[in-house]
Amino acid sequence: MKTPFRIAVLLNGLASPNTAGIKASFETAIASASSLNSDASPPTITFYDPIIAQIHPDPSKYDLIVLSGGTADPMGSDPWVLKLQNYLRTTVKDFPKQKIVGICWGHQTTCISFGGSVASMEGAAEIGVTKISLTAEGKKMFPFASEGALQLHEFHAREVKTPAKGFVALAEGKQSFLNEENTILTFQGHPELNTDLARTLLANSPAYMGIDGERKEALVEKVGMDHDGVKIWSRILKWVRE
């Protein structure tokens, strides 16, 4: 294990007024998780821009690579999306022990990169802290989960339809997967989100998510509920060291 513990986060959304808050949410959640684990020092985090700069982290320099959420169509043909998916496949091939976490869009593009499919949700977008029921494998992965479920921030209008090849479901509804090699862990939800950022994202939710004024008001309380984000990151950090 490299010292100090190093994490690369690919920010898969265009720069916006929310970017600083998104970076801070990762830093705060991961630092809190490290403290929960009684680590000597928190991990160092480096952020990458795969969209405009199209620079990807060198896997040999990081203990964990994180693919963040985003708004592009992961099933589309944007050059940067295809380049990122190729980077993911190449990293798995050339660095077979590299630990990778996919979050929301990262969860979806990981699925596509390894033979799965994603499509728009048939109903309304899923937003707010949501109870995610775990499978038997998920309960083993997250032993802290109360009543066999995680409370996790959601913010998405697309979902996995066909799981990637060689991935095991950790949660019902295609919400979380772990590959058979135990090196790639994905979540449809956002363990990094906090209440303030979630409320900001809700207030500025794009039109394609179909959230009108009345529904936004109803979701304000849901995005402020208690969640397991820090506990999930605590487990992720332990998993990376396994």
Determine the Cα–Cα distance for residues 200 and 188; give it in Å rounded to an integer.
19
Torsion sign over Cα 88, 94, 97, 98: negative
In the set 126, 154, 159, 192, the catalytic residue is: 192
In the set 107, 153, 156, 190, the catalytic residue is: 190
Three-state secondary structure readout of 6-34: EEEEEEECCCCCCHHHHHHHHHHHHHHHH
Task: Give the bridge partners for 154, in sequence order.
Answer: 128
- Using a 10 angstrom Cβ sphere, with 0-12 exposed, 13-18 middle and 19 or more buried, the burial of residue 26 is buried
Provide the 3-class DSSP secondary structure of residue 207: helix
Q: Does the annotation count 190 as an active-site position? A: yes
Run of H or E residues at 234: helix 229-241
Length of the chain: 242
Nearest residue to 29 via CA among 53, 45, 6: 45
User: What contacts 124, CB < 8 A, 6 or more positions away?
Assistant: 210, 211, 215
Neighbours of 23 (CB within 10 A): 16
Q: Does the annotation count 104 as an active-site position? A: yes
In the set 104, 111, 159, 227, the catalytic residue is: 104
- Using a 10 angstrom Cβ sphere, with 0-12 exposed, 13-18 middle and 19 or more buried, the burial of residue 199 is middle
What residues are labeled active site?
Answer: 104, 190, 192
